[in-house]
Amino acid sequence: MVKAAKDLFDPRAFLAKVGAGKSIAKFGKGRNVFAQGDVADAVFYIQEGKIKLTVVSDQGKEAVVGILEPGQFFGEGCLNGHPLRIATTTAMESCVITRISKTAMIAALEGKPKFSQLFMAYLLARNSRIEEDLIDQLFNSSEKRLARLLLLLANFGKEASSQPIGVNISQETLAEMIGATRSRVSFFMNKFRKLGFISYNGKIEVHSSLLNAVLHDKPEIDRKD
């Protein structure tokens, strides 16, 4: 009977319910889930909405380092011994977030194999993304970095057709994420629109032609700045 109960365990249902060491809260647009320098004592899971990660340097310079979507975790650094938060997490739209205390998270990872598999899959996917981002920064032009970022934000790969970016994102934020100036991003966005790679209809819509241009290194997108 115990084995059957474990087999029926649904990790996503587990994350969607309040329980020992778990709570669920709604965050309005612009509200911080936690701020850089806060005590790191819990892991968070996004049920609904999108979260922006920002870091401020010792010199006061702010940079956007990621945008997280439903189904992703954040704040997991507390499991690796980080006593304080190294980034600020802000709701980009209305969000529903599950908070799992460090103690409850460790217990779930040790006692619930399916939950552990879900979390490990997230960590592996995140690490692969970090490696790809590093290669992108080292070898690609800012134009190609912007193209890749737009494809990622539109979740290309899950669908083959045109995909809208599900949240309003400013050119300033795009510039911070690829390490370029806002004027350069504005120039590239206008270029992409003229080439038919993207369109504007309230939100940015990314077309499959942009994916083809990136995958096949077409000359429309420069490899070097």
Q: What is the pLDDT of residue 161?
A: 61
Q: Which helix (H) or strand (E) holds 84?
A: none
Average pLDDT over residues 103-114: 95
The pair of structure tokens assigned to 71 is 């189904």
For the stretch 153-207, pLDDT in tens is: 888 765 556 678 877 888 999 999 998 999 999 999 999 999 999 998 778 999 9
1 pLDDT above the threshold of 50 = no
Fold match flag (2-134 vs 140-215): no
Mean pLDDT for the chain? 88
The pLDDT confidence band at residue 2, using thresholds 50, 70 and 90, is very low
What residue segments make up the domains of the chain, in order of their start? 2-134, 140-215
Q: Which residues contact 196 (CB under 8 A, 6 or more apart)?
A: 207, 209
Measured between alpha carbons, how far apart are the two ends of the chain, in Å? Answer: 63
Each residue of 4-47: pLDDT tens digit?
A: 445 577 888 999 999 999 999 999 999 999 999 999 999 999 99
Amino acid type, 176: E
User: Tokens at residue 19, please?
Assistant: 């329980």
Residue at token pair 């103690």: 103
140-215 CATH pick, 1.10.15.40, 3.40.980.10, 1.20.1260.10, 1.10.10.10:
1.10.10.10
Higher-scoring residue by pLDDT: 87, 224: 87
Q: In the prediction, which pLDDT does 52 show?
A: 95
**What is the reported pTM?**
0.80
- Angstrom distance (rounded) from CA 13 to CA 122: 17
Distance (Å, whole) CA 94 – CA 76: 22
Q: Which has more confidence, 12 or 218?
A: 12
- 8-state DSSP, 19: B
pLDDT at 157: 61
Q: Is 89 left (phi over 0), alpha (psi -120 to 50) or beta?
A: beta
pLDDT of residue 123: 94
Q: What is the CATH number of domain 2-134?
A: 2.60.120.10
